[in-house]
Amino acid sequence: MSIESAEPSPPTSPAPPASPTSHTPPTHTGAVGPESAVLVLEDGRRFAGSAWGARGRTFGEAVFTTGMTGYQETLTDPSYAGQIVVQTAPHIGNTGTNDDDEESARVWVAGYAAYAPSRIVSNQRATRALPDDLARDGVVGIAGLDTRAVTRHLRSAGAMRAGIFSAADAALDPAEQLALVRERPSMAGQNLSAGVSTTTTYSRGAQGERIGSVVIVDLGIKAATIAALAQRGFDVHVVPESVTAEQLYALQPSAVFYSNGPGDPEASEHHVELLREVLHRRTPFFGICFGNQLLGRALGFGTYKLPFGHRGINQPVLDVRSGRVGITAHNHGFAVDAPRGGPVQTPAGFGRAEVTHVGLNDDVVEGIACLDIPAFSVQYHPEAAAGPHDANDLFDRFRDMVLAAESDGMQAAIAVESAPTSGAS
């Protein structure tokens, strides 16, 4: 994969319409084509449907997401690269798409499956229809299949390799289709950051009072993350995933941030070693999603693949220190293997750390705080543009950590997460 846009920064949005009556949403009705399509899983299960979006064949890891809103944010989230996304919500596409809600410059999913795509667009903010975006970016989709059955199967058998075959490819011999699926690599062991990261450094200035600068290592960054940090007074510098420590520190950052992204954290040793340099220098650090997994590995903990992952915007997470529960947005298939129950010495020699957040559905580690260096991370998405926003204050905590480091010294910065004064999650 490669970024096709020549512009490395997130897409800019056109001026909104003057009023609802001054804009006529598209009335595209070709949500589903007449051709047949089939979703083929590596264990041999097949689900018939109709062609949707681009025609042809595509391969990836079949996963499901439970979000009932925010399908455009899902599609343009680089964390979904390499995955065929199955929507559990049946009705998809009714609000169309627009430039304002894109999280990156293109659709990243490897394939897309839904039960009942909308035949019309019914929102005054829409400038085009969902199938137009799928076709534009060459995303092969399938509609009309039994997404409930697919989801139930993946919940019992686990996420697995899959392929969508539509139009002429749907007529291939089933044995050939299955063989093509099984030839594809599994998600475990894949390093996908290079395919979704920016190729050049770009910057966005702080909004309001400037408090410092943050370097974001782009492992699959979303536009909402950049906006959240700029809104809190950071000059934001987004750098390629291949950045070296020398290049990173040439930007003189007040803090470092690791973004979300696709792939197996075990295959991202460069990012782990880079992060260890950041931790050794005691630069304030915050990581989300993939960044949480990489902090775990940098501290010496392991990571493992979840059976079917967490994907959706309704995941309950417990802050074990305050007892507060937040409803959060997730998109991850791997997790950190770290001891719960209080502080432990980190195997890599960075002092003490503790698990701060756990998922209430399956007790998965959802957050880590270091107690002797200024670093913390969460497994979920506090910037979730489509909601919920229960965890948005984590960006405030990061800001507080940087301010404390600059005004009161390192111990004050460490205390922001090692001894939080609020129950925010």
Between CA 257 and CA 261, with CA 259 as vertex, the angle to 5 degrees is: 160
The answer to whether 4 is a known catalytic residue is: no
Q: How many whole angstroms separate alpha carbon 150 and alpha carbon 27?
A: 30
Q: Which of 103, 289, 330, 366 is catalytic?
A: 289
Q: Which of 237, 366, 381, 417 is catalytic?
A: 381
Q: How many whole angstroms separate alpha carbon 414 and alpha carbon 78?
A: 31
DSSP notation for 79-103: GGBTEEEEESSSEE-TT-B-STT-S
Q: Give which of 411, 420, 279, 277 is closest to 350, Cα–Cα.
A: 279
Tell whether omega for the bond before 8 is within 30 degrees of 0, i.e. cis: no
Q: Give which of 148, 119, 146, 144 is closest to 27, Cα–Cα.
A: 119
Q: How many whole angstroms separate alpha carbon 240 and alpha carbon 247?
A: 10
Whether 158 and 145 have beta carbons less than 8 Å apart is answered as: no
Q: Which of 73, 354, 383, 417 is catalytic?
A: 383
131-161 burial, b at 16+ Cβ within 10 Å, e below that, comes to bbbbbebebbbbbbbebeebbebbeeebbbb
Q: What are the residues whose beta carbons fall under 8 Å from the beta carbon of 107, sequence distance 6 or more?
A: 75, 76, 133, 134, 136, 137, 139
The beta strands (E) that lie in 121-173 are given as: 140-143, 160-166
Strand pairing class (116-117; 111-114): unpaired
Q: How many whole angstroms separate alpha carbon 34 and alpha carbon 336?
A: 44
The answer to whether 176 is a known catalytic residue is: no
Q: Give which of 246, 32, 261, 286 is closest to 134, Cα–Cα.
A: 32
242-247 contact pairs (CB < 8 A, 24+)? 242/194, 242/197, 242/270, 243/217, 243/274, 244/274, 245/274, 245/277, 245/278
The answer to whether 370 is a known catalytic residue is: no
Q: Which residues are catalytic?
A: 289, 381, 383
